[in-house]
Structure 1
Amino acid sequence: MNATDNFTLGYSEYGDPNAKVLAVLPGWATDANFLKPIAELFKDEYRVLLIDMPGYGKSSHLKLFADSTRQTANLILNTLPKNSILMSWSLSTLACCRACAMDTNGKIDKYISVCGSPRFPADPNWPGFDYKYVLKCLKLFDEGKNTRSIKLFFMMQSQSSILSKENKQFMIESFDAMGDIDKDVLVAGLHKMAYADHREAFNAIKIPCLHIFGAKDRLVLPDLAKHLIQPPYHVCSVLQDSAHMPFLSEPENFKKVINLFLKNSN
């Protein structure tokens, strides 16, 4: 029995309430507000659920579970109806990989990761980021500079030269709408980013999966695509004009790649 068995995550809903569910989860230091462009892209075809992670937005009351990837995965499965399409952006990929591997009730029909990884830091045989970025963020948190730490991370992942003026403004507005997040929740996410390794769970997934990367991403390197391609279940796509937020930088290509995957994996 899991401590989260009787709980579900909070979410915002868009699109056709009678259509197939596309459930999307955000990255570190972001809530469902940051995912609205994805809902806008797919609301005509799907019932889109923008799900808040534990400690954020409509799941703020579940912050106790923010440090446990396993319990977060269980919360995801509790929240989804059967035969859902699951999409993760960035750090939520850790919990979503676990959810896919744990799913014994047909909750997840297909899985899409966006600039995510089952392990974020590099090791000798795995492309990833340098630990120093996360350690710098943790140091800023220790000094009480929470907002500065989050903005530093956003700068690294968004690469302002790629995003339009409108997209930059969208990020500012989303950040303001999110409000303050408990420091312990944010630090728990950084610890996962620095130390978690869910490659075993990833390799246990036996449903159609698409993994999207940005060619200019400095956090989740596009070279990772070579390690995640595992026919027949895992296919990858690299968007050439994107960094860590392809749904903002290349929305049309982003949607095209996903629709092609969904059509061909039936």
Structure 2
Amino acid sequence: MTLWTDAAGKGDELLLIHGWGMNASVWMTLARELEKSHRVTLVELPGHGESPWTNTLQLEDWAEQVLAVAPPDAVWLGWSLGGQVMLQAASMQPHKLRGLVGIATSPCFVRREDWEYAIEPAVLESFAAELQADSRKTLRRFLSLQVQGATNAKSLLLQLRREFDSRPALRLSALQAGLAILLHTDLRPELSALDLPVNWLLGARDTLVPPGLAKALSRIQPRADLSVIEGAAHAPFLSHPGPCLELIDKFIRHV
């Protein structure tokens, strides 16, 4: 069984990977603009949207499934959890990727002794516990966290909810597996060894991926492009589509 994909447009190949608890619809505003000059492929992660779920619990398995449906020589855009899938895929088959755009994502989402630019593990652990009791309520709470701090948080939350509800319901097992990936993954060594063009887009008001991460990323990858978008939270491509589109286009032109 293969992951759901949808492609449109002509030009350089792009692959867009959504984050935890979401689906491909979250990209629609940005995708429509990118399709004017690029070939854009949307993919839904295992158990999300219309993609099948076969109890593939490891990040490596998710990356393999995305690699199997990805167009060759594409620039990959990964948001949040999608960014970790992207990084894992790049470490496994770098020849298949032309470049990476990490949007509000991190090689390591939770704090560790040597890693302060992240959230406390308890945040994700609480989501995992609450999923069992009421998955819909938990997902709604997570949507609120993604826009918390954004200048247009109210309207952005309504948009996120509409997009979330427009696709099939997510599988609980897939959500639990995704949280486990976020909780336990540390891709800093893989990122340090990566020899591909990388562009990071972070939100200055992001509560899930702190903007202080920019300094850490610049140490791990001194040659990477990096932008912190003022007024943006965890979904900068929704709250600030113009600046994101400009930065993405500029990066694609130079890779």
Tell me which interval the TM-score lies in, with the shorter structure as reference length: over 0.9
Say if 2:92 is the partner of 1:102.
yes
Say if 2:247 is the partner of 1:257.
yes
CA contact (8 A) 2:150 2:233 kept: no
Matches within 5 A, 1:107-126: 107-126=96-115
Partner of 1:37: 29
Distance between the aligned counterparts of 1:28 and 1:136, measured in 2?
Answer: 15
Higher relative contact order (CA 8 A, sep 6+): 2
1:161 Cα deviation from its structure 2 partner: 5.1
Partner of 1:136: 126
Gaps of 5+ in 2: none
CA contact (8 A) 1:22 1:86 kept: yes
Distance between the aligned counterparts of 2:150 and 2:196, measured in 1?
Answer: 36
Matches within 5 A, 1:49-198: 49-59=41-51, 61-65=52-56, 67-104=57-94, 106-126=95-115, 127-142=117-132, 144-159=133-148, 162-163=151-152, 166-198=155-187
Gaps of 5+ in 1: 1-6
1:63 Cα deviation from its structure 2 partner: 3.8
1:96 Cα deviation from its structure 2 partner: 0.9
* RMSD of aligned alpha carbons: 1.7
CA contact (8 A) 1:56 1:63 kept: no
Overall identity of the aligned pairs, in %: 26
CA 1:179 to 1:80, structure 2 compared with 1: closer, same or farther past 3 Å?
closer
CA 1:138 to 1:62, structure 2 compared with 1: closer, same or farther past 3 Å?
closer
Distance between the aligned counterparts of 1:197 and 1:165, measured in 2?
Answer: 33
Distance between the aligned counterparts of 1:159 and 1:91, measured in 2?
Answer: 18
Distance between the aligned counterparts of 1:63 and 1:212, measured in 2?
Answer: 32
Distance between the aligned counterparts of 2:146 and 2:75, measured in 1?
Answer: 25
CA 1:197 to 1:125, structure 2 compared with 1: closer, same or farther past 3 Å?
same
Partner of 2:20: 28
1:165 Cα deviation from its structure 2 partner: 5.5
Amino acid at match of 2:200: H
Amino acid at match of 1:174: E
The worse-fitting range, judged by mean Cα deviation, of 175-184 and 213-222 is 175-184
Aligned residues: 252
